Structure 1
Amino acid sequence: MDPLLLGALVAIFTILVLFSGVSVAIGLLIVSAGFLMVFDGMRSLELMPEIFFGKLDNFALLSIPMFIIMGSSIASTRASADLYEALERWLTRVPGGLVISNLGACALFAAMSGSSPATCAAIGKMGIPEMRKRGYPDGVAAGSIAAGGTLGILIPPSVTMIVYGIATETSIGRLFLAGVIPGLMLVGLFMAWSMYSTWRSGNLAVISARTYSWTEKFEVLPRVLPFLAIIVGVLYALYGGIATPSETAAIGALLCLLIAMIIYKLWNPRDLWVVLRDSTRESVMILFIIAAAGVFSYMLSSLFITQAIAEWIGTLDVNRWVLMACVNVFLLIAGFFLPPVAVILMAAPILLPIITTAGFDPIWFAVVLTINMEIGLISPPVGLNLYVINGIAPDISLKTILYGSLPFVACMVLAIVLLCLFPGLATWLPDAVMGPGF
């Protein structure tokens, strides 16, 4: 059978299996085993266990559970409340200041936890009721938190970037650095829209909230600064050549646990057990998907599907930016239905040779891909953050939450356009710190 036609069949069956409700990892294994057995014979199945476990034989994978423990220990404390309160006290007199403080808290908490749903839940429980009480529309209150939560997969340390680095054999340190400026740019675009929408609506009543003295502004900082110091320390250890990503993640996890125990009195063994249990559960889920995606990639390569798709796209006489636009549409649609980790593990090995042949930097592409995944997190039908917000504020309809998040989706699309016009936004910092790359 023609490899391109076979690739179309694989895509159709994969979608059908994943839509059946089977977990992503199990679905990928079912599709891989089925096509290998039919088109390559039963003997090809003998290699599946070796490939499955071989994909996990990577030292860099140790950083994933460590960063997850780091985020889980923070999420189990009042760190999110302290972040929110600190920013609210400093920005209370700025137009749209409460929305901006919520977005800032989302950005900082996302950087520490690396989890979009956890960020939405932690900041949204405090921020949404407060914004509604101050007179902000329901759509703005809910949409800003849903969008702010997506920043966790872009701002380092990012588990998503680690997964991309492992899937494409790209430097994780470069990927982390590449996400810094685009992440800050997205935060800036979100905040700029919030200030503009508040000014345009003329709802200045939301500005004149409670005022805080300088003493009140500074007294909350000591509870926040240790966590920010850990982020800075982790990044310094990584880029200063002091430790590898896995070692850095282990140090960060240990320090976050110690701070949670010392500052927030997380002494109860049951609470510590919950942190470790939830971290283990999430880590196993991600590692299971990584191993299954390795088998799936082997199947595509063994049946010459990957090579045929790359060769076919290489023969297309189209402008490389038209090609990139098509890739972005594909990623956007895939992000509507699948979690970011699954999309990256399935698509990145196929797309990487295509985008490098077209002359695009794989580090730059990682940032573009990640922003597409962010859009998927707040877009139906599977937009996870929308349902998290709806669970926090059930009296706000999903339609209202979606409409409230659409301006922030436009900000993400603008960010992708700016990255296409100025790729140095993603590549300058990695090249400046670690030397020229691609």
Structure 2
Amino acid sequence: MDPVTAGIAVAIGLVVLMAIGTPIAFALGGVSLVALVADRGVSELTYFGETFFDRIAEFGFVAIPMFIMMGAAVASSPTGRDLYRSLDLWLGKLPGGLAISNIGACSIFAALSGSSPATCAAIGKMGIPEMRKRGYPDGVAAGCIAAGGTLGILIPPSVTMIIYGISTETSIGRLFIAGVVPGFMLAGLFMVWTLIACKLAGGYGNPMEIASESIKKTVRENVDANLKALVRVLPFLGVVIGILFALYGGVATPSEAAGVGAFLCLALAIIIYRMWQVKPIKLIMRDSLRESVMIMLIIAAAEVFAYALSSLFITQTVAGAIADLEVNRWVLMGVVNVFLLVAGFFLPPVAVIVMTAPILMPIILSANFDPYWFAVILTINLEIGLITPPVGLNLFIINSIAPDISQRDVLMGSLPYALCMVLAILLLCLFPEIALWLPNLLMG
């Protein structure tokens, strides 16, 4: 079978399996197994097992479950509630301030947890009901949380950046630093649109002016509690800053920094929030194990999938066809962006990275694009996939938090934030130093 026909058959098989609800890891592994056996015989089963286990045996992947445990410790504690209350104290009285404080809380919680779903769930459980109670439109309330949650895979420490770094053999510390400025730039764009959306939707200035007297009284009475909540959050922010310092300062490897960060966040959650009981600690361990196994299975299956594509010469054919395109390098980058955008509509970020990064990296380097800059571009494309159908993981989380908000309102509220991400990609293409300035300054 020629590579083109084989590639079409593999793509159709993968789409069919995912369409009937097969988990990503099993879909990738199943298609790979069938393709290898059909092309080379049963003897390929030996290489299937070796490839599957050799990939996840790399020492660098130790950082993934550690960062996931760190995020689970933060997400399972009342840290999100305290962070939300603290920002609401300072921003809640501004026009559209409560929605802006939600995005700010998502930005900071993203740095603490490194997970988009955890960020969306932790802040959304408090933010969406409170915004609706104070008169914010359903679309604004749902959209700003769904979009703010996506920052979890861009603002460091980010699990997806770790996977990208291992897949492309680039510095994880430098990748983390490269995501800082674009992450907060994207949060700023979200805040600007939120202000505009509030004006367009309701035409009101300060939502507190139309709030009931009981809500105003509650906000005034909670000032002291909110200040104390801010103090409880600061140690967790200190851990994140310490991890970044250890990484870019060469003090520790990503695995070492992740291990220390997980221990400190777990200890802080137990001490600050008095989580002495077995149940919350068991919940943290369960969530960490579940997400870690899911990610590692996807990584292992994607490696087998990449091996199958290479064995069938599909990868080489696609890469050669793209490289042979005699087009401007920015046209090439546009094609790559469209490809990533479409892939993000159907696949989770981890799967897209491990499947495409090794293929795209030679093309990116041959076109003289910076791999760390491209990591940020790739991540923002995958963020768009988190708030757009048909997968749109954050949309499902919003639906579980506020099932009475119609799917149409959620989608219409999220769409402008997706356009903000497209604008961020354009700004990064025009001004690459947005992503490269800080890592060049700190790491040379």
Q: TM-score range by the shorter chain?
A: over 0.9
Moved more, 12-21 or 193-202: 193-202
Moved more, 319-328 or 2-11: 2-11
The 5-angstrom pairing of residues 33-432 of structure 1 reads 33-200=33-200, 201-208=202-209, 210=216, 212=220, 218-432=227-441
Deviation at 1:5, TM superposition (A): 3.1
Cα distance in 2 for residues equivalent to 1:429 and 1:5: 45
SS at match of 1:46: helix
Contact map agreement 1:97 1:207 (CA 8 A) in 2: no
User: What RMSD in Å do the two structures reach over aligned CA positions?
Assistant: 1.6
Which 10-residue stretch deviates more, 194-203 or 336-345?
Answer: 194-203
Q: Distance in 2 between matches of 1:207 and 1:12?
A: 53
1:28 partner amino acid: L
Give distance in 2, aligned partners of 1:184 and 1:205.
24
CA shift at 1:205, angstroms? 4.0
Question: For 2:273, what is the secondary structure of its paired residue?
Answer: coil
Query: Displacement, 1:207?
Result: 4.7
Shift of 1:219: 3.4
CA distance in 2, matches of 1:256, 1:187: 24
Q: Deviations over 1:134-176 (max 9, x none)?
A: 1111100111101111110110000011111122222111111
Deviation readout 1:212-267 (Å, 9 max, x if unpaired):
59866643321111111111111111111111000000000000011111110111
After superposition, what is the alpha-carbon deviation per residue over 1:288-330, rounded to whole angstroms, capped at 9, x for unaligned? 1111111111111122211111111111111211111111111
1:54-113 superposed Cα distances (whole Å, 9 cap, x missing partner): 101211101000001101011111101100000000112222110011111111112111
Q: How far is 1:190 from its partner?
A: 0.6
Q: How far apart, CA to CA, are the structure 2 residues paired with 1:96 and 1:148?
A: 15
CA deviation string 1:43-63 (max 9, x = no partner): 222211111111012111010
1:420 positional shift: 0.8
- 1:14 deviates by 1.6
Query: What are structure 2's unaligned runs of at least 5 residues?
Result: none
SS state of the match for residue 155, structure 2? Answer: coil
**2:136 is matched by which residue type in structure 1?**
Y
Cα distance change on mapping 1:303 and 1:231 into 2, 3 Å: same
Aligned residue for 2:388, secondary structure, equals: coil
Give the TM-score normalised by the residue count of structure 2.
0.94
Q: Which amino acid aligns with 1:15?
A: V
C-alpha separation in 2, matches of 1:70 and 1:296: 30
Number of aligned residue pairs: give it. 435
Match in the other structure for 1:18: 18
Equivalent AA in structure 2 for residue 156 of structure 1: P
Once the two structures are TM-superposed, the CA of residue 385 in structure 1 deviates from its matched residue by 0.9
Q: Deviations over 1:257-283 (max 9, x none)?
A: 111111101110122111111101110
The percent identity for this pair of structures is: 61
Distance in 2 (alpha carbons) for counterparts of 1:73 and 1:414: 34
Against the structure 1 CA distance between its residues 23 and 217, is the aligned structure 2 distance closer, same or farther, given a 3 Å change threshold? closer
Q: SS of the counterpart of 1:224?
A: helix
Q: What secondary structure, in the 3-state scheme, does the structure 1 residue paired with 2:156 have? A: coil
Report the secondary structure of 1:204's partner residue: coil
Q: Is the 8 A contact 1:66 1:250 kept in 2?
A: yes
Amino acid across the alignment from 1:63: A
* 8 A Cα contact 2:323 2:363, kept in partner: yes
Task: Check conservation: 1:40, 1:303, Cα contact below 8 A.
Answer: no
Structure 1: 5+ residue stretches without partners: none
Whether the 8 Å contact between 1:96 and 1:207 is mirrored in structure 2 is: no
Secondary structure at the residue paired with 1:386? Answer: helix
1:373 CA displacement: 0.8
